[in-house]
A = this chain, B = another copy of it.
Amino acid sequence: MRPPIVSLVGAGPGDPELLTVRALRRIEAADVVLADDLIDPRVLALVKGRLLRVGKRGGWPRAPGQQPLAVPQGDAQPPWERPGGGCISTDQHFIHALMIREATAGHRVVRLKGGDPFVFGRGGEEADALREAGLDVEVVSGLTSGIAGPAAVGIPVTDRRASPGVILVTGHPGDGNAEPDWAALARTGLTLVIYMGVARAAHITAQLLTAGLRPDLPAAVVSAAHTARQQHSATTLAGLPDCIRREGLQSPALLVIGDVAAQAAVAAARQAPRQAG
């Protein structure tokens, strides 16, 4: 008999047409879906089984219309009190325990994560915890917003005319994430795509300018790409903090820094890219 399987599924950036075919099938077939915050409501509407919202912003650990989720049974010592928990938060351990409980009870479990489960998604930790519990794990990659978000406003993150590559990095260190070495990143000459960077845009911009990036290097901010609230603005590296304040661009948002970011303005001037299916 095969061991129970948990699917770590990428929900992509928002629009349900941007789910992969496999992700759609897994979501529709799941007995239980553990969903992060920031999953688009149109994607959540596809869930036919039980939906447990385990995001850290909204309502955790209480599922909508339910009693607070109980600590998994048969666990004399909750996993987050075990030694060696390291940097993994209580919340994260609770999610692991909940997935393991549901899967060992024989349920088809989908762990639904925004974007791609293996890009800033803690998917690696979740896969490890599941394997340690003897469960089988399947990873269903999803479109990461750091690539699909810029594309939504006409920006190719790589372009042989401008940059032989792209850096995807988090602008929100802490909670176990190290601060990126901004000076080292600046010296690569590659396109920089910064996730969760809006709140710290002034700090990041200052670091990159100090490292020698041009103040007039094209930059863009893309907020809530591929959702009903999508917004963007094209500016320069030096103009980034003011642009965010002036335009009221909100998290979740991406900062794109590099010559390719100028394409946002070009695409907008010619036409709005079509998003709707």
Q: In the complex, which residues of chain B have a beta carbon less than 8 angstroms from the beta carbon of A263?
A: 124
CB proximity of A98 to chain B, nearest CB, Å: 20
The minimal Cβ–Cβ distance linking A231 to chain B, given in whole angstroms, is: 18
Q: B136 touching A271 by the CB < 8 A rule?
A: yes
A36 within 8 A of B: no
The answer on a CB contact under 8 Å between B175 and A170 is no
Contact with B along A126-148 (1 / 0, CB 8 A): 01100100001111011110011
**In the complex, A271→B124 CA distance in Å?**
15
| CB <8 Å contact, B277 and A22 | yes
A277-B7 Cα distance, complex, nearest whole Å = 11
Query: Across the interface, do B271 and A131 meet the contact criterion of CB distance under 8 Å?
Result: yes
By the criterion CB–CB under 8 Å, are B175 and A165 in contact?
no
The answer to whether A170 touches B165 (Cβ under 8 A) is yes
19 more A-B residue pairs beyond the given contacts A16-B21, A128-B266, A160-B177, with a C-beta to C-beta distance below 8 A? A18-B21, A18-B22, A19-B21, A21-B21, A87-B161, A116-B147, A118-B157, A124-B161, A127-B156, A136-B271, A136-B274, A139-B151, A141-B147, A158-B168, A160-B178, A161-B176, A167-B167, A181-B188, A187-B187
Report, nearest first, the 10 A-B pairs whose CB atoms are least far apart: A165-B169, A124-B156, A118-B156, A17-B22, A141-B148, A124-B159, A160-B176, A184-B187, A184-B188, A160-B177
